[in-house]
Structure 1
Amino acid sequence: MLAKAFPPALRRCQVLGLAGTSCLALGGETAGALPARELLAPTSPHAVLGLVGVYFGLVLLTAAWVLLGRRVRGDAPPSTRALVLVLAVWAAPLAVAPPLFSRDVYSYLAQGAMVDAHIDVYSYGPASLGGPLADEVAPLWRHTGAPYGPAFMGLAGALADLTRGELPAGLYGMRCVALLGVALMAAALPRLARHCGADPAVALWLGVLNPLVLLHLIAGAHNDAIMLGLLGIGLVAALGGRFTLGAVLVTLAALVKAPAALGLAAIVLLRHSPPDTSAGTLLRAARGPAYASARSLAAATVKTLAAAAATTVALTAVTGTGYGWIRALSTPVSPQNWALTSLLGRATGALLTHAGSDLAPLAVPAWHALGLAITAGLVAAIWWRLRPRPVYALGLSLAAVAAFGPAIRPWYALWGLFLIAAAAPDTSGRHRTVVAVAGVLALAVLPDGDPADPEQVLLAVCGGALAVVVLWQARLATGPLQGRTA
């Protein structure tokens, strides 16, 4: 039975990916986003070896994912169950590894401790907490209020109470929350794909086995994992006709991170013109004879917003965090953020400064405002054109928010990619685009989460190049994985 579920070619992908994540975990022991007392100098031999090992493993993992994609799109694709088992094997070393590629998890723990200590997490930064946890937060964010909603703050506060502020226990607790989110994503994605007429195995490969999920949602323990997991199962509930439950779950996702609130638009359209769930077909065309009236749309909107409002009020009352999270949505971004509008703003500011203009300080805010306007226009156009396909429209909208917003991180690409994997037309072009985007973004951040210097970049390139040489030699010795059959 196991041999049928895991033919030799699939097992080789599984082993190659496991080797990659094992190297990532081992390299992270000296080059990851370690607690302050364990940090090594970037030039120390152990940190150098760890950095090379991380990028060696990263290339192995990416190669395994690409080869697995060939199997998924081949003549005898693996089942979704087999792919979930591959995900579990690949994720296992990262589940016990130190934090990688970001120090955000330390901010989560400090903010959770603030909630547990009844400090207003939206008015004060972790510096007001003091102590070891606050010292772990990146200096840039120590005096900044939390930009997350009461759902996540309540969860972080409960975790702080459970772990009594102990750092190792807190880190593993946040990792468990991230793993739960990824498990919800893996459970929701095949169901979303079936409803949208896509191949569930291909969707699972693109949206959950993606290296960005392993590197940032699991190894980085980002709260985007629980946001996307709640969003996914909320959409599944709505596609199954449980619209109120869907609205509640999507609202919970938005109360983790605000971008998920766009999912309520999908709930409204699904309630307004529900799919034929018995046949698993797509929504009827917007201008078709079965499309509901404007009165029905208004009723769907009111019911969805009522469920969202009730959820928000109830959860805010339970967590006791208040409504400061609304104000915190305007939390400033890093001045060196490499979002498109931030880059253009800094370049424009430099030109204005060189020209002696007094308008230079307004360049970045102006570009951010333009980016938000472009995002609003794109989102409106997407929903108008794709309103018969709300899951796809939501995925593209979240991708637009990430691309043109004032801040971007590699894992933000997963907001849209997760749903695009389930709902986009099944074309080879989509696969190539996702592979290219994931490959580039996977290389964009160093494992300690700090800005790169030229020496570290060189070491990272050496680690990746070594992995390429090893893979090439293995290919010459054994032949390409794609060519071998079970």
Structure 2
Amino acid sequence: MAWVWPVARAAGKRVSVPMLTGKHAPASARPGMRTFAVKSSGANESASGLSGKRVSTPALGRRNASLPAHTRKRASAARSPGRGASAVGLAGSVLVSLGAFGAGATPRHDPVLSGTVLSAVRFGHGRLLATAVVYLGIFLLISAWVRLGHSARAGQVNARKIVRTTWMWCVPLLCAPPLFSTDLYTYLAQGVVAHAGFDPYTRVAADFPGPITDNTAGDWLRIPSPYGPLQILIVKSVLSVTGDNVILGALLTRLAMTAGLALMFVAVPILCRRLGARAECALWLATANPLTVLCVVSGGHNDLLMIGLLSAGAALVITTLPGLGFVLVALAAAVKAPAAVALPFLWWEWARRRSGGRISVRGYGFTFVAAVSVVVATIGLCSVVAGVGLGWIRALSGNSMLKPWLSASTSAGKIVGVLTDDSAEAVAVSRIAGCVALVVVVAWLWWRSRAGGAGVVRGAAAALFATVVLAPVALPWYFTWPLVLGSAAAWPVSRVAVAAAASAWLVVSTHPDGKSLLPPWGFGVLAVASIVVGVLTMHGKFARPGDAGGGRVVASTFEGSSLPINGFSCHSCESACRSGCGAQGS
């Protein structure tokens, strides 16, 4: 027996009809059959031949009980596409959350498990078992994500389904210790300085010993905070409620950061309508991505709030309210400075709208003054409310003591240092060269975006990617900065496969406790596994009929249109796409 899932689209509507074929097909289409009328406008005939006709399928209720068990199971999956992927991902998320209590970035003095028999999961064989549970959960979550991507590509799940699934995967992680990073404790330690009435941009957490600063990584104890005033205000407010309770403080801080995820759920579909991508595919790539779920959400990184505000601001700038959009992007920069990279790009769109699409010195000058005023006023207000100054700008270079291999400039310096026996000098010179190259690349991208429109969002995404790669410091979750804006553009499937493989690789490039790198053999295994993820993303081997868009899935296209329904491109505006809205086929 074969299952076919024909999809008919006409006049912005879709009717999906599961049909039985082969030896199980009934001899007559009339007795015990349900019929569905497929509406169609005369202009567009469905390539599957379903338009304007009546298609008969067997009732999937009581009369289906006589079918074999595996047939009934497939019929149930066909009625709820993506349900299996969501459930598998949830199981993986729960396993990761349970394993995090032993293998994650747990606090040193944990009142929950300390002194109980369960504390054995943090030492010796118990810790090894917890680590194995974490990696098993990661495998399930990544495989479910790939399968869900095929459902999105085949048009079997919508944006709401992706949003619900992402929340489903995130909730267990929000109740567990952070993974792959100890930054959440660093935020609280820097908040201790501000809560005590001192400037976190001149004083360091090491001067304030206590239960919170005890959990902070050594290097971050001795450098001022490099984060903006809004970030300081958030952790300062959290500590005013939780006091010295490390666990409650970490939970509330991470919950505050998830506001960025909610903003992304709203902003990404708006950006997709302007840039030509499908909302469900963009949300799958940006928000349901294991890199976002396991690193950014679980780790409680302020990057989540930054990219949420940035995407919401960009959506407002390219639609109706550029002034309010600049306020949101300024707030994003007040959380973490890299968001400011997008401001010059978005200014092009504001200036173009103000000038009516013409090059006007008066219009461009007015919007420049307005944009600068909005940004200065927003960041200034945040600084006043937080009770801090602008020292965070000077403190941005504080994390330069980190030398991560993900930064191209830092890695190049390390390689040269091995050859010259002067690693420190080589890294310093290489970082300077990287910064110069970054300025040149961003300036070039900015000038190319001067026409405004959707190009400013693409340019901003490319500039953020260049910032991650060429800046002196790059960490795995930094790659979510360009991914959120870039996902709103139509991507060829081959590029999506590369992004999926890279995401899987970045997720587990560090140990779950965030304090150590994988051994050399671990990177080899990880490289092979990431390539497998990329291949499966492109070819759909994780897919199952009725669940993930693979197997025998058949998707129709409009007659006379090159727009594929089952590709990572726009299918919500046929007429606009025919006139060149920027969508690309897969």
Residue 145 of structure 2 corresponds to 65
Residue 37 of structure 1 corresponds to 109
Q: Which amino acid aligns with 1:12?
A: G
348 and 42 in structure 1: CA distance in 2 versus 1, 3 angstrom threshold = farther
User: How far 1:328 sits from its partner (Å)?
Assistant: 0.6
Identical residues among aligned pairs (%): 33
Q: Which structure 1 residue ranges, 5 or more long, are not aligned?
A: 276-283, 354-358
Mapping for residues 43-442 of structure 1, pairs under 5 Å = 44-74=124-154, 76-274=155-353, 290-338=357-405, 339-353=407-421, 361-387=424-450, 388=452, 389-422=455-488, 424-442=489-507
Secondary structure of 1:37's counterpart equals coil
Q: Which structure 2 residue ranges, 5 or more long, are not aligned?
A: 1-74, 111-118, 555-586
User: How far 1:294 sits from its partner (Å)?
Assistant: 3.5
In the TM superposition, what whole-angstrom CA distance separates every residue of 1:230-257 from its partner, at most 9, and x where no partner exists?
Answer: 1111112222321221111110100111
Residue 21 of structure 1 corresponds to 93
User: How far 1:70 sits from its partner (Å)?
Assistant: 0.9
Q: Which amino acid aligns with 1:430?
A: R
Q: Distance in 1 between matches of 2:261 and 2:400?
A: 26
Q: Distance in 2 between matches of 1:270 and 1:90?
A: 36
Q: Which amino acid aligns with 1:341?
A: S
Q: Is the CA contact (8 Å cut-off) linking 1:21 and 1:57 kept in structure 2?
A: yes
TM-score of the two chains, using structure 1 as the length reference: 0.87
Q: Which amino acid aligns with 2:448?
A: R
Q: Distance in 2 between matches of 1:458 and 1:45?
A: 23
Of the structure 1 ranges 232-241 and 452-461, higher mean CA displacement relative to structure 2 is found in 452-461
Mapping for residues 424-463 of structure 1, pairs under 5 Å = 424-452=489-517, 454=519, 457=522
Aligned-residue RMSD, C-alpha: 3.0
Which of these two proteins has the greater Rg computed from alpha carbons? Answer: 2
456 and 298 in structure 1: CA distance in 2 versus 1, 3 angstrom threshold = same
47 and 393 in structure 1: CA distance in 2 versus 1, 3 angstrom threshold = same
Secondary structure of 2:434's counterpart equals helix
Q: Distance in 2 between matches of 1:238 and 1:198?
A: 18
In the TM superposition, what whole-angstrom CA distance separates every residue of 1:329-386 from its partner, at most 9, and x where no partner exists?
Answer: 1113244421221122122223222xxxxx6542111111111111111111222223
Secondary structure of 1:371's counterpart equals helix
Q: Is the CA contact (8 Å cut-off) linking 2:413 and 2:428 kept in structure 1?
A: yes
Q: Distance in 2 between matches of 1:334 and 1:59?
A: 33
User: How far 1:399 sits from its partner (Å)?
Assistant: 0.6
User: How far 1:457 sits from its partner (Å)?
Assistant: 4.1
Q: Is the CA contact (8 Å cut-off) linking 2:105 and 2:181 kept in structure 1?
A: yes
Residue 356 of structure 1 corresponds to none
Secondary structure of 2:353's counterpart equals coil
User: How far 1:460 sits from its partner (Å)?
Assistant: 9.0
Q: Distance in 1 between matches of 2:497 and 2:212?
A: 42
More strand, by proportion: 2
Q: Distance in 1 between matches of 2:401 and 2:224?
A: 14
User: How far 1:430 sits from its partner (Å)?
Assistant: 2.5
123 and 290 in structure 1: CA distance in 2 versus 1, 3 angstrom threshold = closer
Q: Is the CA contact (8 Å cut-off) linking 1:239 and 1:274 kept in structure 2?
A: no
Aligned residues: 457
TM-score of the two chains, using structure 2 as the length reference: 0.73
Q: Distance in 2 between matches of 1:245 and 1:6?
A: 43
